Structure 1
Amino acid sequence: MTPEILFEDNHCLVLNKPAGMLSQGDETGRPSLVSWTAEYLKVKYRKPGNVYVGLVHRLDQPTSGVVLLARTSKAAGRLSDQFRTGAVSKLYWAIVEGRPDLPEGEWVDHLEKDRTTNRVRVTEEGEGKFARVAYEVLTEGAGMTKLALRPSTGRSHQLRVQLAERNLPIVGDRKYGSRKILRALDGEPRIALHARELSFTHPTLGETVRIEAPVQADWPESSPAWWGSSRGR
């Protein structure tokens, strides 16, 4: 799996993460977005020793799309502040089983993570972490719906859980109730969730940077037969 470079300068690197790739290394020792980036920078700029790569946010392993990395500790601090304060604008595409009652709207929940099982659940108001996402129906057919999702918070598994809570599991997300199986380009499981767009303020220039990540061949909508004859608008 090879990430696609979408933007690069002395302070930031924005990549299109393939589904199935870890954002950050774990105990398995498998390649991750961070390790790939470190090796890429080391080779390209002929840097001896360790190379700094700051992961200021992440995507779940079965999710694809745009990820912002920092190339300096100063940039990492400033970008992390933007994510923490909600100053970063994010757009996701998701294909779900079923259809929302309304063509657009907003969902608000409180989420709690069980670190033993690595699962998140919706809890009572006043408990857990506040989560909000705006949604819009883009396309529908064959019992599935493509949604545009704009979260204003960044909780662990947030979109996966908020959709599943409304009986709209993301296609391929077996952990949260999907009946379907999807495969990434390397054969590993993936889900039909793609981080489509990211807008942030450049950490040194102060300019708005907007990056769009194209879907790859394993995105289910890429197949002409995916929606069947009942494809909507």
Structure 2
Amino acid sequence: MTPEILFLDNHLLVVAKPAGMLSQGDSTGDRDVANWAKAFLKREFNKPGNVFVGLVQRLDRPASGVMVLARTSKAASRLTEQFRKRSVEKVYLALVEGKLEGSGRLEDWLFKTHDTETGTRVKRVSSTTSGAKKAVLEWRALATVRGRTLVRVVLETGRPHQVRVQLGGIGHPIVGDLRYAAPVPLGDGHSIALHAAHLALDHPTQKDRRRFTAAPPPAWGEDFARPIEAELRVLAGRE
């Protein structure tokens, strides 16, 4: 389980995270992107001592897709500010259960809890709930095959488990997401059909807009290969 390198310079490391890999290390001791990146950079550039890697975003463990890491503290600070100001464009592709048509916008208030046995769990709550945070996304159905729908999701906010909870909340859980009501697992049982397909941001030092895309993993199968390929071309700016 190794991330694919999409871009590398003195300030950024952009990778495609595999489904099932942690973004950041936790008590399990399982492999994670941040520590993998430190080891890769240390080896690649023969660096002595500690290697700086700034984790400025996270993807859920069972999800896959584009992640950007900072190679300097200046880059980390500037990227963090972009995420805070919501100037980073984040587009996901998801396979959901059921037939979903058209497009829409979802606004919910989410509350996160953590249990030592079940891990992080997020639920939709009232806006008056103490500690709740607003979550907003826009979705558009791209294709439906055999009772499942390919959906493009654009995030306005970046809450934990946001896409999973919000799509599940309208009766269309993400394929394989047993935690949020999906009926059956996906592939190896450790991944879900949620993929960060596209990330657009301003380079922290050169200031020009950079766009990064990555295709979903093979576990998604071939049913949606054509609409996925077409959408990736659009996201990459080739159409």
SS of the aligned residue for 1:189 comes to: coil
Q: Which residue of 1 aligns with 2:212?
A: 211
* Identity across matched positions, percent: 46
SS of the aligned residue for 2:218 comes to: coil
How many angstroms does 1:126 deviate by? 3.6
- The yes-or-no answer on 1:173 pairing with 2:177 is yes
Q: Which residue of 2 aligns with 1:135?
A: 139
* Aligned partner letter, 2:157: T
How many angstroms does 1:188 deviate by? 5.4
What CA distance in whole angstroms lies between the structure 1 residues aligned with 2:151 and 2:162?
A: 15
Q: Which residue of 2 aligns with 1:7?
A: 7
Listed as ranges, the matches of 1:155-166 within 5 Å are 155-166=159-170
How many angstroms does 1:210 deviate by? 0.5
Q: After the TM superposition, which parts of structure 1 deviate over 3 Å for at least 4 consecutive aligned residues?
A: none
Structure 1, 164-173 or 91-100: larger mean CA deviation:
91-100
Gaps of 5+ in 2: 226-239
Structure 1, 123-132 or 42-51: larger mean CA deviation:
123-132
Q: Quick one: which of 118, 124, 127 aligns to 1:125?
A: 127
What CA distance in whole angstroms lies between the structure 1 residues aligned with 2:47 and 2:108?
A: 46
Listed as ranges, the matches of 1:1-233 within 5 Å are 1-100=1-100, 102-116=101-115, 117-127=119-129, 128-183=132-187, 187=188, 189-218=190-219, 220=220, 222-224=221-223
CA contact (8 A) 1:91 1:195 kept: yes
CA contact (8 A) 1:18 1:64 kept: yes
* Aligned partner letter, 2:52: Y
Q: Which residue of 2 aligns with 1:230?
A: none
CA contact (8 A) 1:79 1:203 kept: yes
Gaps of 5+ in 1: 228-233
* Aligned partner letter, 2:60: D
What CA distance in whole angstroms lies between the structure 2 residues aligned with 1:47 and 1:126?
A: 50
SS of the aligned residue for 2:127 comes to: coil
* Count of aligned residue pairs for this structure pair: 220
What CA distance in whole angstroms lies between the structure 2 residues aligned with 1:41 and 1:167?
A: 43
* Aligned partner letter, 2:102: P
Superposed CA deviations along residues 111-143 of structure 1, whole A, max 9, x for unmatched, are 111123511011112431111101111110211
RMSD of aligned Cα (Å):
1.4
CA contact (8 A) 1:22 1:32 kept: yes
SS of the aligned residue for 1:118 comes to: strand
How many angstroms does 1:69 deviate by? 0.3
* Aligned partner letter, 2:4: E
SS of the aligned residue for 1:190 comes to: coil
What CA distance in whole angstroms lies between the structure 2 residues aligned with 1:133 and 1:28?
A: 31
* Aligned partner letter, 2:218: A
What CA distance in whole angstroms lies between the structure 2 residues aligned with 1:115 and 1:148?
A: 28
* Aligned partner letter, 1:192: A
Q: Which residue of 1 aligns with 2:229?
A: none
* Aligned partner letter, 1:105: G
TM-score normalised by length of structure 2: 0.88
How many angstroms does 1:99 deviate by? 2.7
CA contact (8 A) 1:3 1:15 kept: yes
